[in-house]
Structure 1
């Protein structure tokens, strides 16, 4: 697979680094939206599976994440992140004006992707939400109850049953290994509430995938949010035993095959 091409644009609050993976004669554009504290470089294998399937793939490192500008993991308003994401989508649509766009968001990125779909649904042909922070995430209230946010970084063991995933995460210099920051937590809380209040995604085909043993973003809390936004075309796949990062799980090939089968179902005939 070709290496990602990195390019920058002037985001709402600083330079945003974007990753793009090319292929000849693509059938669709896949836009990847990564989660909290990480970066899109962790999704090389996802991009590879999608390019093999027929996609050109792109996505940003969010503000304060990866190679993008900003204080690490400091996001004060997710409207800024959604606006940056729309710049990426518009660039892809300029390059490939006749191709449908599928957005795939994981964890915090699932929240961002859901909000994007509520605000800019006509941009998208389909939406995939992986372990999304939606509905009720009890971690938010527990952390915000402290005068000083505890220094409790994400436990790499909760990401996947594959210990190599946790090891690589712990050793990745572009991953944030420090505590959550209060402004980001408050912005998360606000965005989740906005999504709940905005409601249904209408007819947008949506695939929700989640690990049954997700201890970072528990299934039951997310389900309340899915019920708030579900439209007329929702597919749900819950994977027994899987932890938070389903695309990095021991059965990731099966899970990625679910995604590509869903895309095949919803893509318009060409």
Structure 2
């Protein structure tokens, strides 16, 4: 509880958290949350993990589609993103993203203990989703990954660049590298313009220290993939310049899961759910169909009948 007379905690945009849906993470930081609750009894829970530098607002269309199918969808802005507290797009340990995701998932599970849980993750949110599911492999009915970060792009991960990044991280971790080039997010110019105009997105350069955390996450995923047994759907565009499609192919080929599917979009860019309208529509259809097919048939009836 805040001290009596203490100023209320406010979001980076100046809104008191008392006016915003939020959770408080293990470090005492307030994370802005969104919830899309169906009118009737929900059939499943779906957690959405957004990507680096963005926030959970742009997932509204996807969440509405899932909500229409009686799924309860929830998300938060990761630490240092959007309307959440924390140093902008910087993290001392990638595990914090995973820990916070599990905290939010556990909260929703405590309110709906009989419902199956799914995760949908895009880009860095894909890495968060994979590692979250790896921590609790028996807890999730399935994971949907849209252009996930599984491998570093070869151009950014040459041995020399990795060596230089490690050296710079030791000397000047706050040094910034290039920023996310919005033109590679989507072939739909309106979507790129919307991303550029969104003040909740981070438009600055990526710090060397943040890049090192992404590298550490990639190394950890490579160790985990040979033991992934949970169901997953991978959607990736073959013209994605931000997250290498080879990572998705490698995950699909090397995971022992008996329930896995990969769909590759020819010419597709990074944010497939915001790519050309026909691609975005196909992605939503794949995602909703796959999730509804993976809801155990008996859950909601049993929960109501018991």
Whether TM exceeds 0.5 here: the answer is: yes
Task: Give the structure 2 partner of residue 22 of structure 1.
Answer: 37
Deviation at 1:38, TM superposition (A): 0.3
- Tell me, which stretches of 5 or more residues in structure 2 are unaligned? 1-18, 299-306
* Cα distance change, pair 29–201 in 1 and its aligned pair in 2 (3 A): farther
- Tell me, which stretches of 5 or more residues in structure 1 are unaligned? none
Distance 1:15 1:140 in 2: 33
Q: Secondary structure of the equivalent of 1:160? A: coil
Task: Give the structure 1 partner of residue 301 of structure 2.
Answer: none
Q: Secondary structure of the equivalent of 1:122? A: coil
Task: Give the structure 2 partner of residue 43 of structure 1.
Answer: 59
Deviation at 1:217, TM superposition (A): 1.1
C-alpha offsets along residues 122-166 of structure 1, whole Å, 9 cap, x if unaligned? 221110111111034335436653647555221211111111110
Distance 2:290 2:128 in 1: 20
* Cα distance change, pair 114–230 in 1 and its aligned pair in 2 (3 A): farther
Task: Give the structure 2 partner of residue 152 of structure 1.
Answer: 178
8 A contact 1:135–1:223 mirrored in 2: no
Q: Secondary structure of the equivalent of 1:198? A: helix
Task: Give the structure 1 partner of residue 21 of structure 2.
Answer: 7
8 A contact 2:79–2:86 mirrored in 1: yes
> Structure 1 residues 184-193 or 110-119, which shifts more?
184-193
C-alpha offsets along residues 48-72 of structure 1, whole Å, 9 cap, x if unaligned? 1111122110011101001111110
Distance 2:67 2:20 in 1: 17
Task: Give the structure 1 partner of residue 281 of structure 2.
Answer: 253
Q: Secondary structure of the equivalent of 2:287? A: helix
Deviation at 1:265, TM superposition (A): 2.1
8 A contact 1:31–1:102 mirrored in 2: yes
Distance 1:22 1:77 in 2: 32
Distance 2:35 2:256 in 1: 30
* Cα distance change, pair 201–261 in 1 and its aligned pair in 2 (3 A): farther
- Structure-2-length-normalised TM-score: 0.81
8 A contact 2:51–2:124 mirrored in 1: yes
The answer to whether structure 1 residue 161 and structure 2 residue 177 are counterparts is no
* Cα distance change, pair 165–221 in 1 and its aligned pair in 2 (3 A): same
Q: Could you say which structure has the larger radius of gyration?
A: 2
Deviation at 1:221, TM superposition (A): 3.9
> Structure 1 residues 30-39 or 14-23, which shifts more?
14-23
Quote the RMSD (CA, aligned, Å).
1.9
C-alpha offsets along residues 199-220 of structure 1, whole Å, 9 cap, x if unaligned? 3454311001101211111212
Deviation at 1:245, TM superposition (A): 0.4
Give the alignment partner of residue 213 of structure 1, picking from 239, 263, 267: 239
Number of equivalenced pairs? 266
* Cα distance change, pair 222–204 in 1 and its aligned pair in 2 (3 A): closer
Task: Give the structure 1 partner of residue 12 of structure 2.
Answer: none
